[in-house]
Structure 1
């Protein structure tokens, strides 16, 4: 039994608690530790979240054993993703996941595409799969012409009636979020009116909207029309301070900084730096599958977030730890998520 400092997965707050071992499993209790209780130096979190991945473009079996406990797929075949998510839940219920970081009340590499119907569709046992299903785009819009888009990963939406059908389809598949594509540099984008219809239909089904916003003005437009998340921190242009302030109160940005180079990278990092300083919420996301990205935590993305002024405990909060088995990080001058490892009973021996 030891006093511990942990990041509460329920609300992202740092708290003091007590770590114990129950039936061979480590647990964190949300009770004040006694003043004389031995302390575990360092901090605890749940496994981390990558808020932007494409599981059909990577060998996702490599996620097993990584510090990622949850991934959010933002564009793929909804039937395939539904099978992956359901299989992951079934394996968790069967006991492949153990331990919880959500406090127990004291009262109680490079990517390899997967093949459809292959054994590789079996998800890692320790990763929760959340998904959006297909990209929504107008006829001929991005990414309908991209060779990397898996079959069924793009849903072209022609009008308001079709928008209602499309959202209902994704909801029925098990989607937890709706993905709207708005890339004015690569084809048509939705009109304001049809974008609003999609947002309204998503809200009627209890689904938030995340937008791929690319091209001048698209990030501001997507949020103005009701998207509450941007799939990429804005990289097409440097937002003004006033635009940054407005975004900070209206939307969450998923970072995906490391996919960029050159001017786009500099713009995205500068935007994130000012957005974070203005109180905006940034979530770690890599666009895993966009090029030869690592499967697991991406060191380049972590370095880019640090360059944008997000480090230490703030960086851990950006990684949005999930409920689940506790992970342990030593706490020195710098906290490195790449050093996270599962907490063990030995760690809690007094």
Structure 2
């Protein structure tokens, strides 16, 4: 029997009324207004969450099936492996979308992961100068790094990533671990990627690298800056041009304190912060990470703002995984209380 339901519309940034019903053994949600006298679901609903920074080759992907994630973005891996993972259940193309779901600039059309209903977008290999990070890291999977020497090589690599299905380009700019691209080379990669309609996401580490990557045209930072406390002027300059992926829980000690403080002030200035965990960096859960949620709350991102940072998939799409917050009202919808919505939840 159909049920009235309150659901979170990430595009409208508001809670709305709709109708949920079981269709072909799965719960479907529509924006249709519930009719008078219709039973009401005891709780609220949202689309499954997005983790905007994962490394799928470093985790057991099968664990995503029982998670509350509906979309992940791999930011550094072997493009052939990731393309195979993305397509191994057949093609389930999503409608191309721009804007709030992914931050202010990015655009993607990810597909299903392993038949478990989780959408996958990816950047493919890290682009780095010869000897640069993470070319010397044992955790980096084979084929996950491309050492780029000049603009011609950058063009070839960007085309390679795009042909593999990547929707963004990952540039390593880690001055704490070796060589980084010159300003001219970094800007050239940004321009080449833009010519192929692909935004650049930077791993910016070391004093000044977050500011430099932003100035040179990166549209997202893969980590909230943690190498130094940014000035208010620097944060304000970033707030209108670049999104940050949080990844706060990978840190401890001083780096954690710096990152949380930077996020707190950046967010207060209107900067866009999206939830991401660097899943695979150590023993991280293949699901929403409670430590990351706690860190975002410590940085002042909570309530509806926290849900927006988790970028739920569109719950009215027929292919979306739906989450249920049992017994919760709109002001108590804690992401850590969410679970997958099942047909049994609609039974009287």
Q: CA deviation at 1:242?
A: 1.6
Contact 2:54 2:278 in 1 (8 A): yes
Aligned pair partner of 1:296 in 282, 287, 292: 287
Contact 1:2 1:349 in 2 (8 A): no
| 1:93-134 superposed Cα distances (whole Å, 9 cap, x missing partner) | 8xxxxxxxx9xxxxxxxxxxxxxxxxxxx9362222211100
The number of aligned residues is 322
Gaps of 5+ in 1: 94-101, 103-121
Partner of 1:119: none
Q: CA deviation at 1:141?
A: 0.8
Q: How has the CA–CA distance of structure 1 residues 56 and 208 changed in structure 2, closer, same or farther, with 3 Å as cutoff? A: same
Does structure 1 residue 310 correspond to structure 2 residue 297? no
SS of the aligned residue for 1:233 comes to coil
Does structure 1 residue 181 correspond to structure 2 residue 179? no
Partner of 1:248: 239
Partner of 2:323: 327
Alignment of 1:1-350 (within 5 A): 1-8=2-9, 10=11, 12-34=13-35, 37-90=38-91, 123=114, 125-323=116-314, 324-330=320-326, 331-332=328-329, 334-348=332-346
Q: How has the CA–CA distance of structure 1 residues 273 and 216 changed in structure 2, closer, same or farther, with 3 Å as cutoff? A: same
Point out the more displaced range, 130-139 or 312-321. Answer: 312-321
TM-score, normalization by structure 2: 0.86
SS of the aligned residue for 2:57 comes to helix
Q: CA separation in 2, counterparts of 1:68 and 1:196? A: 34
Q: CA separation in 1, counterparts of 2:133 and 2:12? A: 35
| 1:186-234 superposed Cα distances (whole Å, 9 cap, x missing partner) | 1111111111111111111111111000011111111111111110001
Contact 1:89 1:128 in 2 (8 A): no
Q: How has the CA–CA distance of structure 1 residues 125 and 20 changed in structure 2, closer, same or farther, with 3 Å as cutoff? A: closer
Q: CA deviation at 1:55?
A: 1.0
Partner of 1:115: none
Contact 2:275 2:309 in 1 (8 A): yes
Q: CA separation in 2, counterparts of 1:247 and 1:51? A: 19
Q: CA separation in 2, counterparts of 1:63 and 1:273? A: 30
Q: How has the CA–CA distance of structure 1 residues 29 and 126 changed in structure 2, closer, same or farther, with 3 Å as cutoff? A: closer
Contact 2:218 2:242 in 1 (8 A): yes
Q: CA deviation at 1:31?
A: 3.1
Partner of 1:96: none
Computed over aligned residues only, the root mean square deviation of the Cα atoms, in angstroms, reads 2.1
Q: How has the CA–CA distance of structure 1 residues 147 and 27 changed in structure 2, closer, same or farther, with 3 Å as cutoff? A: same
Q: CA separation in 2, counterparts of 1:349 and 1:76? A: 43
Partner of 1:112: none
| 1:270-316 superposed Cα distances (whole Å, 9 cap, x missing partner) | 11111111112211111111112122221111111111111222212
| 1:25-82 superposed Cα distances (whole Å, 9 cap, x missing partner) | 3222223445665443432111111111111111222221111111111001111111
SS of the aligned residue for 2:177 comes to coil
| 1:2-40 superposed Cα distances (whole Å, 9 cap, x missing partner) | 332222355654332222333443222223445665443
Contact 1:219 1:230 in 2 (8 A): yes
Contact 1:235 1:268 in 2 (8 A): yes
Contact 1:12 1:320 in 2 (8 A): no
Contact 1:88 1:128 in 2 (8 A): no
SS of the aligned residue for 2:263 comes to helix
Contact 2:176 2:205 in 1 (8 A): yes
